[in-house]
Structure 1
Amino acid sequence: MRVYLPATISMLRQLVNEGEFMPLNGTAFALTPALRESYTSGSTEELEYVALMDAARASLRLLAAAQEDGGEDAKQPPRRVVVSADVADPALRPDLDHAVVRLSGPLRLDQVAAVHVDTEEAEPAVTAAAAVVDAADLGDEDAEFTLGDVEDHELAWYAPGELPFLLELM
């Protein structure tokens, strides 16, 4: 199954350096039966994009946490990161959300199909959105508008072999 894992630049560095990383709580997003049922129409590609964008929003939460605790990601460029990978039998978690799945172990580099990362131009919007992502979840309309600004930025696509070069340029 194709899954979309929210990540950060530090997690991406770990994936490249160590050959694997463990997503926070094993959480990933995918085109699950529950996600498909929640939409009256939409192609597989369109619904996979929904799961990708759910992972991108979760990446904002990881960035917000890093800013609060001053972690390693606070020193990295503020960019959403989503790792697309093919894994066998992730656990479906419709009790958490329609697209949520859980991985039972770390993600290996050889499972990665692609990585999606914001460009430098998106950094101000990412920083602003990370600061208000929780407020948006609680219904704050101004925060939702700020999230809309960051979602207007398309994530750039990278093949797994391009990751060392991408990270070297950051």
Structure 2
Amino acid sequence: MRVYIPATIAMLRDLESNGEFRARSGTAFALTPALREAYVSGSDEELEYAALLDAARASLRLINAEEKGEPRRAVVSADVDNVTLRADLDAAVVRLDGPVALSQIAAIHVDSAEAADAVSAAAGVIDAADLGDEDAEFVLGDAEDHELAWYAPQELPFLLELM
């Protein structure tokens, strides 16, 4: 199953050092049966993109929790076999049973430098947006207007070197 794992730049640095990725609390997002039911229509590609966007939003929470984190959303796409569906948390949430090896990673998605200010602002209001604050939701939308860039796993060292 293709999963989308929220990350930070610091977590990507750990991936490069250790050769495996550890999702915070084992949480990832995927095209699950519950996600498919939540949408009236949509191709698999569109629903996979919805799961990716959920992971990007979760990345904001991770950035907010880091003391000196770099303000760029990051998502790791990986193909894994063993996941537990967690529709009790949200339609796209799955729980991974352990670390993800670099060989399982299909792609890495990261904000460009131009998104840093919007991402920093959004990370600071993510909890308020989740609680329905319309002003916070507007700030969040500014960050989500930025598309994540796609990188192949073998490009990770070069990506991190340029940061």
Number of corresponding residues: 163
Deviation at 1:17, TM superposition (A): 1.0
**Residue 157 (str. 1) matches residue 113 (str. 2):** no
Counterpart of 2:112 in structure 1 is: 119
Counterpart of 2:32 in structure 1 is: 32
Q: Which runs of structure 2 are paired with 1:86-97 in the superposition (5 Å)?
A: 86-97=79-90
Separation (CA, whole Å) in 2 of partners of 1:161 and 1:133: 31
Separation (CA, whole Å) in 1 of partners of 2:13 and 2:103: 15
Identify unmatched segments of 5+ residues in structure 2.
none
Counterpart of 1:18 in structure 2 is: 18
Separation (CA, whole Å) in 1 of partners of 2:4 and 2:128: 24
Separation (CA, whole Å) in 1 of partners of 2:109 and 2:22: 17
Identical amino acids, percent of aligned pairs: 72
What is the TM-score when the length of structure 2 is the normalising length? Answer: 0.98
What is the TM-score when the length of structure 1 is the normalising length? Answer: 0.94
The CA deviation string for residues 75-129 of structure 1, in whole angstroms up to 9 with x for no partner, is x431000000000021100000000000010111110000000000000000000
Counterpart of 2:4 in structure 1 is: 4
The runs of at least 4 consecutive aligned structure 1 residues that moved more than 6 Å come to none
Separation (CA, whole Å) in 1 of partners of 2:39 and 2:3: 19
Separation (CA, whole Å) in 2 of partners of 1:14 and 1:65: 17
Identify unmatched segments of 5+ residues in structure 1.
none
Separation (CA, whole Å) in 2 of partners of 1:116 and 1:21: 14
Separation (CA, whole Å) in 2 of partners of 1:134 and 1:77: 19
